[in-house]
Structure 1
Amino acid sequence: MSVSYEVSINADKKDFTNNSEVVYKPTTEENNKFDKSFHSLKPENEIVPKDSGYLYITAFIADLLGFVAGIGFAWTSPVLPKLQGPDNPLSEPIDASQASIIASILCVGAAFGPFIFGYAADKIGRKKTLILTALPMMVSLGILAYTDQVKLYYLARILYGMGDGGVFTVLTMYTGEITQDHNRGKFCCIMGIFIALGLLFPFSIGPLLSVKLFCLSSIVPLLIFLAIFPILAPETPGYLVTRGNIDQAEAALVKLRSKSKNEVKPELNEIIELIESEKNEKGGIVFLFRSRAPRKAFMIAGGLMIIQQVSGINAVTGFLENIFLATGSSIPPQIATTLIGVIQVFTVFITSSLIDKLGRKMLLLSSALGLAVSLTLLGLYFFLSKHQFAFVTYIWWLPIVSLIFYIICFNFGVGPVSWAMVSELFPSNVKSSATAMVSATNFGVSFLITMAFPLISEMLGMAQSFWLFGVCCILGAVFILLIVPETKGKTAAEIQQMLNK
């Protein structure tokens, strides 16, 4: 049985710490009428605990896996041009179909990884499973650094994908289980910052290095993770309680909250009560689809994952340099892609500070609409360029601005916020199975999109390809508006009650 527990300390409960700060008061559907012009963001003397330095350190070290996972998705941007040019480390240059397979086959492994590592997370724990996810990525990078056979590239990318799928599944669970209601969204977005940094690494460093050195340098964060995480990081308190290790769960809470045993007792007792209340309920995939709340949660989470991928993010990032070359822009592709990577990191950082203030739904909706606008403009440029309109030379800046706006919008909501919601929508007794299935859905759709993008762009043209992604984003905005609930400031129990309605 998978356990994820988040605790909220409200103003009407006893304050168990003197180390506290005043934050905004979360709004609810009942008291938030949108008639006070964002007055709900103002502090209203609700006391919640400060986040401990130990929690930040633990999250940062764990998120190194997210950094390497991000590298995997953007790895093709600097590498594919080299595999098709004179610096090719393979025995012969690759063709368009081989490039498409190398870019997309990672998602095949990523679709299976969640089930393998999700199962392991329930059997051996979140901490040990996170350590295991580093191994296939390390082996993959080693193969990519030294092989000269394209078939081994396929194998290596599948292995990398398995690790990626495991990271997105188990790291999401781990982050949700070591945090609390008041900071869960923020720490899930911090995970997104590390992923964005991982995407930036190939854009900025990849073009400067040979394929071999680039792959070997990507192993360094994994070595740091493996050296520190097993010693420093605790197992999640919720998982320890399910195994009957109450003393170890208490010790983990003492570290994560930087409090005494007496101060963490209330949180520990609530975790124990939650686990006890779920013992009579079966978990797993059967319960996921038979019960209303988990079934609705899966529909919402799965829908958000599909929206995330049909926005074209992996197609855009994986072929970013090729897209810039196709625009004929005077800006070197390396500089343009690096700039976009920096903006991506900055945007996720801003999102991490807004997600628990503005709420999930507002960020998701504005993100989807912004993506539609940026893709429409990007498609317009390629359409005008293809038909050789004279004034197109005066709008050479449009694809750069459109892609920057695209990256900002994606990382403002659809990217990191979708994963934050996955960490909080499911009850603990189905969280492992549900997260694995949601992650597999994400990577399955990602595989189809990444595989099809080069072919669609050749058949329909770049403009029509981007317009197609834009239409998908508009449909996604409708889904978010009508189906996705607001979970800001709500406890796990409140979220389940809302989904049961």
Structure 2
Amino acid sequence: MSVFVPETPYFLVSRNRPRDEVAKNLEKLRCTKDIRKEMKQIESVVQGKMTDGQQQKTTYISLFEDRKCRKVLFINTCMMIFHLLAGVTVIHAFLGPIVDLVGSNHGSGNTWAILVASIKLVSSFAAAVVVDRFGRKPLMIWVFSLLRNLSFFSGTLLPVTGNGLQLRGSTSSDTITCDLDLLHGIFFRLGPVPFAYVSELFPQHVKNVGVPICMGIATIFNTAIALTFPFFMEYLGMQWCFWIYGLSCAGSAIFTKCVAPETKGKTLEEIQSMLDS
């Protein structure tokens, strides 16, 4: 797939490639043919960096020395962590055993896991269109609020019985359906947004060090959540796992509303100007 990915306009301009080539690549990345204004902005930014000597290699220390870079790193890292604390990877990874423990009259755990994976695959194609149409910030707030309700509802259907996942007789299918809705909401509406923030918020000159740090922290949290989930499920009960996810989603919605910026329809230069203010 990387063979079909075009070079970034910033890279081409920094290498003094012809303007026609830069314009052609920029048109592939935009939904409009009118890219003259953005072309001028890109050329101005690259020329300014070369004039000011900012083309030098950025270090990890310099990332923390700049106030705006620290702010962007904080926002991106928190968005990735909240994305994981909503139960994204854990529920999908353990969906088969969860369904088997809960019990279902409509197929085994593996069958439901395959069904959810199919939903995830289909939803991923529509995710980019939905995000660009409704915007990042309002979509995140709405989805986190929805997932909060779904998580609390799933936990309520599981009675507090110490160990085990004994359900009331008629609630098994409701719980499974609710979990599928939760996963569908995550992957269809929420999945791409934190990664979009990571690619958009970092200034161009620190992106090569900021993105690895952010993704590295997210990987550590993802590993920790996956390793601790079986213990929480065994010693606290499945209902507490869902309630914890619900509380995380509530905090995520508040954080998104108060801290995360809206980047819909903005160029990288406009986003950086917004962060400066």
Which residue number corresponds to residue 113 of structure 2?
A: 337
| From 134, 137, 141, the counterpart of 1:365 | 141
Are 1:426 and 2:202 matched, yes or no? yes
Q: Does 1:257 align with 2:27?
A: yes
Q: Pick from 276, 283, 302 the counterpart of residue 47 of structure 2.
A: 276
Q: Aligned partners of 1:337, 1:472: CA distance in 2, in Å?
A: 24
Q: Which amino acid aligns with 2:276?
A: N
* Superposition deviation, residue 245 in structure 1: 4.3
The SS at the match of 1:393 is coil
Q: Does 1:320 align with 2:95?
A: yes
CA separation in 2, counterparts of 1:445 and 1:457? Answer: 18
Give the superposition deviation at 1:483: 0.7
- In structure 2, C-alpha distance between the alignment counterparts of 1:419 and 1:338, rounded to whole Å: 25
Following superposition of structure 1 onto structure 2, how do residues 57-96 of structure 1 map, counting pairs within 5 Å? 61-62=1-2
Partner of 2:260: 484
Paired residues for 1:367-382 under 5 Å: 367-382=143-158
Distance 1:482 1:493 in 2: 22
Q: Distance in 1 between matches of 2:60 and 2:189?
A: 28
- Structure 2 contact 130–189 (Cα < 8 Å) conserved: no
Cα pair 2:145 2:250 within 8 Å, conserved: yes
Counterpart of 2:220?
Answer: 444
Alpha-carbon deviation of 1:250? 4.6
Partner of 2:12: 240
CA distance in 1, matches of 2:272, 2:256: 18
Distance in 1 between residues matched to 2:186 and 2:112, nearest whole Å: 17
Q: Secondary structure at the match of 1:394?
A: coil
1:256 deviates by 6.2
Please provide the CA RMSD for this pair.
Answer: 2.6
Per the alignment, residue 293 of structure 1 pairs with 68
Amino acid at match of 2:157: Y
> Is 1:309 equivalent to 2:81 in the alignment?
no
Q: What is the Cα deviation at residue 338 of structure 1? A: 2.4
Partners in 2 of 1:457 and 1:334 — Cα distance?
Answer: 19
> How far off its partner does 1:383 sit?
2.4
- CA drift at 1:396: 1.9
Of structures 1 and 2, the one with the larger relative CO (CA 8 A, separation 6+) is 2
Pair 1:492–1:257, CA change in 2 (3 A): closer
**Identical amino acids, percent of aligned pairs:** 28
Whether the 8 Å contact between 2:158 and 2:166 is mirrored in structure 1 is no
**Contact 1:359–1:486 under 8 Å retained in 2:** yes
Deviation string for 1:130-155 (max 9, x for gaps)?
A: xxxxxxxxxxxxxxxxxxxxxxxxxx
CA distance in 1, matches of 2:257, 2:37: 37
TM-score by length of 2: 0.85
Structure 2 unaligned spans of 5+: 29-33
Q: 1:366 to 1:338 in 2, by over 3 A?
A: same
Q: Equivalent of 1:468, from 213, 238, 244?
A: 244
Per-residue CA shift, 1:36-69, capped at 9, x if unaligned? Answer: xxxxxxxxxxxxxxxxxxxxxxxxx23xxxxxxx
Is the CA contact (8 Å cut-off) linking 1:234 and 1:252 kept in structure 2? no
The Cα of 1:278 is off from its aligned counterpart by: 2.4
1:238–1:271 Cα contact (<8 Å) kept: yes
For 1:291, the aligned partner's letter is D
CA shift, 1:264, in A, is 7.5
The alignment of Structure 1 onto Structure 2 pairs a total of residues equal to 265
Contact residue 368 and residue 474 of structure 1 kept, 8 A? yes
* Residue ranges of structure 1 left out of the alignment (5+ in a row): 1-60, 63-228
Q: Give the letter aligned to residue 10 of structure 2.
A: G
Distance change in 2, residues 1:311/1:265 (3 Å): closer
Q: Which aligned pairs between 1:377-396 and structure 2 lie closer than 5 A? A: 377-383=153-159, 386=164, 392-396=168-172
State the 1:482 CA deviation: 0.9
Could you tell me which residue of structure 2 aligns to residue 205 of structure 1? none
Report the counterpart of residue 31 of structure 2 in structure 1: none
- Does the 8 Å contact 1:343/1:404 carry over to 2? no
TM-score (norm 1): 0.49
